[in-house]
């Protein structure tokens, strides 16, 4: 199994920044891509960002491009999401995911963390 533990969520004013971390452990974790999803109240869970094993390739949802940066430290089995210029619309529970895959515009993950709340006030 893969275990994922998120941290770094909290309350921030619009325009501020937060850095989310996700520590991953478990079997074959190094073979997985890692990423982030989020779910806002009343909405479906949506893809946010993904990073390849090498860290060379990244993908972002249009809504966060230019504001969020995903990175990973394989030595620490940790993936990060640096969130800048936060907007109230970014308010959601953010979930770390492993084995993040896509087909066309559809994204999904194989394993999920418990989520961390990000609240952006106006």
- On the question of pLDDT at 29 being above 60, the answer is no
Encode pLDDT of 59-92 as tens digits.
Answer: 999 999 999 999 999 888 899 999 999 999 999 9
Element (H, E) at 27: none
* 28 DSSP 8-state letter: T
Please enumerate in sequence order all residues whose Cβ is within 8 A of that of 68, keeping only pairs 6 or more positions apart, or say none.
48, 49, 60, 81, 82, 83, 84
d(CA 103, CA 95): 20
| pLDDT top residue among 53 and 4 | 4
Percent of the chain with pLDDT over 70: 96
Confidence at residue 28, expressed as pLDDT on a 0 to 100 scale: 59
- On the question of pLDDT at 27 being above 80, the answer is no
């Amino acid at each position: 199994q893969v275990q994922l533990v998120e941290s770094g969520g909290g309350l921030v004013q619009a325009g501020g920044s937060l850095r989310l971390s996700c520590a991953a452990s478990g079997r074959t974790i190094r073979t997985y891509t890692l990423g982030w999803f989020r779910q806002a109240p009343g909405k479906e869970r949506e893809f946010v960002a993904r990073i390849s094993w090498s860290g060379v390739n990244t993908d972002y949802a249009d809504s966060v491009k230019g504001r969020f940066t995903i990175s990973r430290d394989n030595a620490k089995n940790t993936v990060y999401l640096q969130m800048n210029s936060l907007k109230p619309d970014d308010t959601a529970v953010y979930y770390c995911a492993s084995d993040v895959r896509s087909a066309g515009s559809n994204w999904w993950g194989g394993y999920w963390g418990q989520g961390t709340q990000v609240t952006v006030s106006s």
